[in-house]
Amino acid sequence: METIRYCKQIYPSPLGDISIVTSQKTLHGLWFWDQRHKEAKVDELQMVRTPLHEQVFHWLDAYFSGNFLTLDIELAHSGTPFQEAVWAQLREIPLGKTKTYKEIGNQLGCSSSQAIGNAVSRNPFSILVPCHRVIGTNGSLKGYAGGLARKNWLLQHEGYFEKEKICIPSTNIQTVQPVKRP
């Protein structure tokens, strides 16, 4: 059996460092350094920069500059069939739009918003597979593995609040400052 060599690089985003894990031709993950479920199912990481890292860095530079490009790269399939189905639904949410956990559940024939939420929280491709675009049925921001302040920032950055009214719990959302590792 061939061993997959995982290569890791850190991207310094305005929202804190993002860990980017690839093999030679496949993206295995894009996580905020402090988010839940970070770097799950990858081990023996080497700090090596690949051409795929360059593509992801370019995409992230454009994204954070307000230029929303598409990124056509191979994503590793690391979830259960249910998780993969949920993540496929996330990829269908257009920029500046949202879906509720319930809407995604209805599309998949699943009545459990909690099951949908659990699958969304394990998305290994933060920002790229836009789990931040999933909100509660009442329009409120609900959990995000990278934190609600980041979710709020990402939705603002993508222009969502200009088009829709959303309920933001004021006690949970603060202005996001660049996060540095302790």
DSSP state of 129: S
Q: Is 131 a catalytic residue?
A: yes
DSSP state of 92: T
Phi/psi of residue 94, nearest 5 degrees = -70, 155
Which residue's entry shows tokens 């454009």?
Answer: 62
Q: Which of 7, 110, 131, 167 is catalytic?
A: 131
Give the Cα separation of 14 and 137 in Å (integer).
Answer: 29
Phi/psi of residue 58, nearest 5 degrees = -60, -45
Using alpha carbons, list the distances in angstroms from residue 25 to 22, 54, 55, 178. 7, 12, 11, 30
Q: Tell me which amino acid residue 59 is.
A: W
Neighbours of 129 (CB within 10 A): 20
Give the Cα separation of 75 and 73 in Å (integer).
Answer: 6
- Per DSSP bridges, beta strands 74-75 and 26-32 are parallel
Active-site residue list: 131
